[in-house]
Amino acid sequence: MKPINELRLEFPSRSANEGFARTAVASFLAQLDPAVDEMADVRTAVSEAVTNCIVHAYPDRIGPVIVQVRLYRNGRVIIRVKDRGCGIPDVEKAMEPLFTTGGEERSGLGFSVMESFTDRLKVTSRVGKGTTVTMEKYIAVRQP
Amino acid sequence: MVTRMETGPGQVTVYLSGELDHHAARPLREQIDGIAERCGAKKLRLDFEGVPFMDSSGIGLIMGRYRMMCALGGELQVTGMSERLRSIMRLGGLERLPIFPQQKGEHNETDQ
Ligand SMILES: Nc1ncnc2c1ncn2[C@@H]1O[C@H](COP(=O)(O)OP(=O)(O)OP(=O)(O)O)[C@@H](O)[C@H]1O
Ligand SMILES: [Mg+2]
Counting the structural domains of chain B, the total is 1
Supply the residue whose CA is at minimum distance from atom 23 of ligand 1: A108
User: What is the tens place of the pLDDT at every residue in A56-106?
Assistant: 999 999 999 999 999 999 999 999 999 999 999 999 999 999 999 998 889
User: What is the tens place of the pLDDT at every residue in B52-84?
Assistant: 999 999 999 999 999 999 998 999 999 999 999
Hey, is the C-beta of B95 within 8 angstroms of any chain A C-beta? Answer: no
Q: DSSP states of A59-120 as a string?
A: TTS--EEEEEEEE-GGGEEEEEEEE-SS--S-HHHHTSTT--SS-TT--S-HHHHHHHHSSE
Total-model pTM: 0.94
Of A19-33, A34-48, B79-93, which range is least confident?
B79-93
What ipTM, to 2 d.p.? 0.94
Four-point Cα dihedral B80, B51, B59, B78, nearest 10: -20
Name the residue range of residue B44's domain.
2-96
The DSSP bridge partners found for residue A65 are A11, A83
Spell out the domains of chain A, with CATH numbers in brackets. 5-138 (3.30.565.10)
Q: d(Cα B62, Cα B42) in Å, to the nearest integer?
A: 16
Hey, is the C-beta of B25 within 8 angstroms of any chain A C-beta? Answer: yes
The CATH number that applies at residue B28 is 3.30.750.24
Pairing relationship of beta strands A76-83 and A130-138 according to DSSP bridges: antiparallel
Residue in B with minimal Cα distance to A116: B91
Does a structural domain hold residue B106? no
